[in-house]
Structure 1
Amino acid sequence: MMTFYNKQTTEQKEFYENLLSSLASLSKLFSSSDTPYLHYRAHEILFCYAFGANNISRGDVSFDATKDGVGIGLKTFLHGNGNTFQKIAEFNSVSDEIRELGSNHNDIAHFIADKRNERLTDTLSITSTKEMLYHVITRNNQSLNIAECRMSFVEKARIKKVTLKKNNIYFKDSLHEYNFSLAKNTLYKKFDISENILHSIDVNIMGNPFQLLENLSVFDTKESTKTMEIILPLYSTSTGDVGRSSGLNQWNASGRERHQDEVYIPIPSWIHNQFPDFFNYKGKTTPSFMVKLPNTDLVPFKVCQSGGKALMSNPNRLLGHWLLRDVLKLQAGQLATRQLLRQKDIDSVLVTKVEGKEYDYELDFLKYGSYEKFEESHKE
């Protein structure tokens, strides 16, 4: 199989390994074990920093990072015997459909295979990637192992050995073993990395890392970045659905002739009231600003329409073509609906304001229901 790690420069790999070793040396900040501690979020950030990869781990997609057309899932877990089941996807949004299948374990396995494959297909489209793999860090006594292995579509036609054990459905295809937890609506894949280790790193765990923290009295913040973030719905919050002639279906509005890719992302009025400095909207159209999409494209955007209710690309069709055709897979003239968003398990976007970079904002997709939770916790 292809590897990402071995295609990086020697300097990048050494930099990555040194960062991993340094971070893991602080393990006693979190644990008294001799096995290095590595939080998955810290690994995601470190990986992208070392290799200059695009960090999309906060979005509701199947990859954590992308670079050079490769989608990368990042995993870190205890090494053990190098052969263990690890979580790869959750399916809470279709839990009712799973329950409707009753006790037919074979049907459930095939249903989960379909949903997993749909998500991978959608993620490849959203990120404009062609290949995908897992980059894995396993943790041993005083060491870390770097490994890579396949991220594959489930071979639905080759599913076999479907069995139920303690509320878990186990099944195989010709490439992998899977375990679906009925209680957690979670799919696990067996990672066998015993023969896929690319490099091992010795870790010298500091006995008292707090002494190091005591000496860090001056911080250089010249290259730091500040972020703020909000969540915007991809549907109308007044109706609970996508308007037939607004939002993602603005192309269907009457009046002037419109392009088939004309869309906008709704901005509820309370967002401007609650976060007045986020878009710096002052009651009129704002100047264009640059937004980085999950596929790494940098696109000019602006806030417009009455009350600043619309986030649009400039020109408008850039956002629409990517969102309607590449992400949602809609044909020209086909309406977007809330039901479709539910099927895709996305109904909102995370917009992050960034300072200190060549663009102003980042946009990522979030799972179904994310906007409602954001509104409940932030709207006054």
Structure 2
Amino acid sequence: MGNYFWHDQPNSRQSDYIEMLKMIGSLSKLFSDSSDPYLYYRAHENLFCQVFNAKNLARGDVSFDAIADKMGIGLKTFLHGNGRTFQKVAEFNSDSDLIRALQPKLEDVVYKVAELRNRRIRLTEDITNINQNIYHVVTREKGKMNITETAMDYIDISSIRLAKKQSKNTIKFKDKYNEYSFSLSKNTLLKRFDTTKSEIITQFEVEILDDPFNFLKSHHVLSQTAIQSNLEDDDFIILPLYSPSTKNVEQKSGLNQWNAGGRARNINEVYIPIPAWIHRTFNEFFVYSRLYQGQSAKDSPSFNIELPNGEIMLSKVAQSGGKALMSNPNKVLGKWILRDILKLKEGTLVTMDMLDEIGIDSVKLTKKSDDYYYLDFLESGSYEEFEENHKE
């Protein structure tokens, strides 16, 4: 049984967490007639972060859902079953062409998936500056919930072994730590989680209300529906890390702004492009969009951006037409992206191939107030989808 996060928490927080899980589980008949308690994964993420004062990373496409006590945590909730079920731990939609090109050589596919999985965990560690990672799991069975924890391991490529029996659309394999299953049709990696009795940290009963609607009406309490919508209703935009017009990272602008001419520039000077339509469509998102749209951004106010590693970066909308999101000083953003995340040597140009390789080409900016935002990285293709759905 893993001893990772739970046993280091105060009894009061453990109790609060369990009581809130019981409360949410009691409302299960709002959503299902099953005797197994229902727990929406977004509600689980929000609850965990609130009770344990954790940083919520669920807005971004990274391997952790939360950070607490200098530990990266993947939050999982699923039906208990036999205690040894496969659950999704990663999707590789943006790498589907690369994976498809390796078929039908199953070993080549598995090695590539393992490489991509390890790279994503490593990238998340670089983004968050965290290198101790676990899964915190809540399983649900008839009238009960169980809590288990296990390490979020890298796949040990040197010990990979394919199962003797394979099905048409699934590749089963294992390393010295875990068993895995990769779906060729869905481009998803699943890991077998051991949540059997010997691995359960704590178990508690959940009483499911027969009439949760009447309970909510009589007690005037917040329903789980409101909890579910918490993250979906965020005020956010998605920005590309490349030029949308050329579909490339330009050599003298954006993440390569340090390479532009005209004046002496810091080797870490970069900016994130803000397409003009963002200011028009989301004209309340930035103060610049509301008060200075179409003008020079020199008078637009600065604001704080909280990064996934918890650091606060003073930033502003900059340049003609407000086309750039920059840090103040402008070298801070570049040092973080170019050196800490991409691990590039000074003077190395960022290319689209580099972004494709790490599977991230966009950022999500979530607004808390006019002077405070959150930044998270998103998987390749996120900006294009956002533009298609919102550009008028």
Is the TM value for this pair above 0.5? yes
Task: Tell me how far apart the structure 2 counterparts of residues 238 and 185 of structure 1 sit (CA, whole Å).
Answer: 29
Task: Tell me how far apart the structure 1 counterparts of residues 100 and 168 of structure 2 sit (CA, whole Å).
Answer: 16
Identity of counterpart residues, as a percentage?
Answer: 52
1:151 maps to what in 2?
152
* 1:302 and 2:332 aligned: no
1:175 maps to what in 2?
177
2:361 maps to what in 1?
347
Which residues of structure 1 form unaligned runs of 5+? none
Note if contact 2:94-2:381 (Cα within 8 Å) is conserved in structure 1. no
Which residues of structure 2 form unaligned runs of 5+? 223-229
* 1:213 and 2:226 aligned: no
> Secondary structure at the residue paired with 1:308?
coil
Moved >3 Å (runs of 4+): 215-219, 224-227
Note if contact 2:308-2:375 (Cα within 8 Å) is conserved in structure 1. yes
Note if contact 1:291-1:299 (Cα within 8 Å) is conserved in structure 2. yes
**C-alpha displacement of 1:64:** 0.6
Query: Could you give the per-residue CA deviations for residues 120-168 of structure 1, whole angstroms, max 9, x where no partner exists?
Result: 1101001110200100000011110011011100000011134422321
> Secondary structure at the residue paired with 1:86?
strand
* 1:248 and 2:255 aligned: yes
2:385 maps to what in 1?
373
Decide whether aligned partners of structure 1 residues 34 and 377 sit closer, same or farther in structure 2, where only a CA change above 3 A counts: same
One-letter amino acid matched to 2:343: K
Aligned residues: CA RMSD: 1.9
Task: Tell me how far apart the structure 2 counterparts of residues 167 and 266 of structure 1 sit (CA, whole Å).
Answer: 40
1:74 maps to what in 2?
75
**C-alpha displacement of 1:317:** 1.3
* 1:94 and 2:102 aligned: no
Task: Tell me how far apart the structure 2 counterparts of residues 88 and 150 of structure 1 sit (CA, whole Å).
Answer: 13
One-letter amino acid matched to 2:140: R
Task: Tell me how far apart the structure 2 counterparts of residues 180 and 373 of structure 1 sit (CA, whole Å).
Answer: 25
Note if contact 2:27-2:209 (Cα within 8 Å) is conserved in structure 1. yes
Task: Tell me how far apart the structure 2 counterparts of residues 272 and 350 of structure 1 sit (CA, whole Å).
Answer: 15
Note if contact 1:105-1:162 (Cα within 8 Å) is conserved in structure 2. no
Query: Could you give the per-residue CA deviations for residues 228-273 of structure 1, whole angstroms, max 9, x where no partner exists?
Result: 1111111111211111010000011112221111110100111111
Query: Could you give the per-residue CA deviations for residues 63-86 of structure 1, whole angstroms, max 9, x where no partner exists?
Result: 111122211111111111211100
> Secondary structure at the residue paired with 2:345?
coil
> Secondary structure at the residue paired with 2:349?
coil
Query: Could you give the per-residue CA deviations for residues 290-311 of structure 1, whole angstroms, max 9, x where no partner exists?
Result: 1111111111111111111110
Normalised by the size of structure 2, how large is the TM-score?
A: 0.92
Which stretch shifts more, 75-84 or 192-201?
192-201
The aligned runs of 1:116-155 (5 Å cut-off) are 116-155=117-156
1:184 maps to what in 2?
186
Task: Tell me how far apart the structure 1 counterparts of residues 70 and 3 of structure 2 sit (CA, whole Å).
Answer: 13
> Secondary structure at the residue paired with 1:307?
coil
Aligned residue pairs: how many? 375
The aligned runs of 1:21-32 (5 Å cut-off) are 21-32=22-33
